[in-house]
Amino acid sequence: MKILLGLSERQDSVLFLARFLEAVKDKHHIKVAGFNQFNTSIDWNLNALKPLYTPNTLSFDSDVLESYYNQVKYFNPDLIISDLEVYTSYVAEALDKPIWQVSPNLLHYATPKKEKMAIGFFRSHPYFFNDLNLNQRIKNIIYNSDKNLVYSHFGDAGIFKIEEGYEWVRPYHIVGKESLPCQHNIVAAAYRNKKQFINYIRKHKDAVLFSAFNEERYRDIALKSVYDWPEYACNLKNSNLILNQGHTTFLADAFYNGKSVLVMPDYEDQECAQNARYVVHYNFGSIVGDEVATAVKIPQPRHSEDIKYLHEHLETL
């Protein structure tokens, strides 16, 4: 099957892509469209679709978008999978191609109103919904998609039912084994080298940071690559404390290894801010500096029978 995978600018889509491609193992002919955050090769770089002087403004009247449309038309995919990526979703609709949305950010739209009010995301982070035009477009994308798969471990946590028209999809994760050499006090994972995050690690003994960056100025920290999955899984399983910025992949890795988390959210990222609220509300972890003390649950990892991985959804076609 020919598949076009359109990925948004979410930082965490980097690991989603790597783990998805590993799971399908060349069973499908896949082309990838994405933005500059990818350190792996992609077939179509979508950065050129953003207006030069107003990059946060959506524009659907350009020669670049027409070129992307024509290239996708020539590729003629059987299915388009989108991470709520607006331009790829637009092309899919214009070409009348089947399209699935697969994203952690669908969590907000799929969560029942009562749950959202209790979680307090509107109250804590209203600025993510100030752009009414963008949010209406996202709602249109969701409405016009053939599947809307909520990419989150909260499905396996079984803490609430999502709205009709949405399905849970199990996030790709890795599970380590008990190992004495991998025992550490803190295991952290991050995409961005945020100063506050780095300083927190520096203040604690026996901390290991798995990151997407590797800079000389951080040589005082035990720094490892987040793409070294066996090493990362081993350290994760045998740590006392898991620290991350709220990205779905890192939270899922902690959950399926039976670990609660300490989150220092990247509040510039809707996914991280959203996930942090859910984590705290359901007591699966806490936020650094949060004054509200709660009893944190130790997650009981499970795989619900009615929840599939993305590649398992593909096998039903």
Quick: pLDDT tens for 278-297: 999 999 999 987 655 455 77
Q: Are residues 72 and 210 in the same domain?
A: no
Please indicate, yes or no, whether residues 189 and 132 belong to a single structural domain of this protein: no
Over range 253-258, report the average pLDDT: 95
79-136 pLDDT, tens digit each = 999 999 999 999 999 999 999 999 999 999 999 989 988 888 777 777 676 655 567 8
User: Does 114 reside within a domain?
Assistant: yes
* Domain count along the chain: 2
Q: What angle do CA 88, 91, 97 make, to 5 degrees?
A: 100
Would residue 302 count as lying in a domain? no
- What rounded mean pLDDT belongs to the chain? 88
Q: Which of 10-24, 94-108, 209-223, 225-239 has the lowest mean pLDDT?
A: 209-223
Q: Is residue 297 part of a domain?
A: no
Q: Which three-class secondary structure string do you get for 32-92?
A: EEECCCCCCCCCEEHHHHCCCCCCCCCCCCCHHHHHHHHHHHHHCCCEEEECCCHHHHHHH
Sign of the C-alpha dihedral computed for residues 23, 14, 237 and 253 taken in this order: negative
Same domain? For 202 and 156 the reply is: no
> Which secondary-structure segment (H or E) carries 167?
strand 167-169
Residue in the block written with tokens 């992609």:
42
Nearest Cα neighbor of 10 from 274, 309, 271 is 271
Do 206 and 130 lie in one domain? The reply is: no
| Predicted local confidence at residue 157, as pLDDT | 94
Q: Select from 36, 154, 45, 35 the least CA-distant residue to 104.
A: 154
The answer to whether residue 293 sits within a structural domain is no
168, 200: one domain? no
Q: What digits encode the pLDDT tens for the residues 22-79?
A: 999 889 999 999 987 655 678 998 888 876 545 555 666 678 899 999 999 999 999 9
Within a domain: 23: yes
Is residue 15 in a domain? yes
Say if 18 falls within a structural domain.
yes
Quick one: 72 and 197 in the same domain? no
Q: Check whether residue 105 and residue 137 sit in a common domain.
A: yes
- Look up the pTM and report it: 0.92
Residues 162 and 212 in one domain: no
Domain that includes residue 270, residue range: 180-287
- Same-domain pairing of 79 and 198: no
Tell me, yes or no, whether 38 and 138 share the same domain: yes
